[in-house]
Every structure is written in C-alpha cells, then in structure tokens.
Amino acid sequence: MWSRTANTAVAAIVRLKERRAKEIRYVCLLAARQGLQRLRDLHPDVRVWTAAIDEDVDDQGFIVPGLGDAGDRAYGTK
C-alpha cells in the first residue's frame, strides 16, 4: 500500500478527535481502495461516504485513473 494514501483525511480526523469531536463522518468524491482501507484501519469509528472508488494508486500515490493530485489541481501548487 502506498504510504501517502489518505494522509489528508487521516490527519483531519486526528485533529477533529484531538478537539473531542463526536460522530465524525468523512465525505469525498473519489477514493482509492487502499485509502479507504487505511482510513478504516486507523479510524473504524468514522463513517465514510464516497461517490466513486477507483481500483489503484500509481507509484506517486495518485488515484488511477482518478484526477491526479486533487490538492495540486485545486490550489495550483504544481
């Protein structure tokens, strides 16, 4: 499994839990199976909704076929 997969989601949930949030839900448009599994392993109490699940990630951790790095696309960082 690619180690970067789901890092942003995992970090956001950790921060919410540090602030004692209850009944956390995670909603995303697109996910990779590896990321969903990692999220489930680390935060089994968090319910997840996604519109689509792609099968794989590439050697850079991008969802395949997916969108590439959504953060880069949204914020023009690359």
Predicted pLDDT at 55: 80
Task: Give SS3 for 17.
Answer: helix
pLDDT digits 0-9 by tens, 25-75: 999 988 888 889 999 999 999 999 999 888 877 777 777 776 656 666 677
pLDDT band at 1 (very low <50, low <70, confident <90, very high): very low
Between the ranges 1-10, 17-26, 67-76, where is the mean pLDDT highest?
17-26
Dihedral over Cα of 45, 30, 49, 71: its sign = positive
Q: Which residues pair with 64 in a beta bridge?
A: 56
Predicted pLDDT at 2: 45
Phi, psi for residue 31 in degrees, rounded to 5? -140, 160
22 has a pLDDT exceeding 80 = yes
String of b and e for 56-76 (b: at least 16 CB within 10 Å)?
ebeeebbbeebeebeeeeeee
Predicted pLDDT at 32: 86
Task: Give SS3 for 53.
Answer: strand
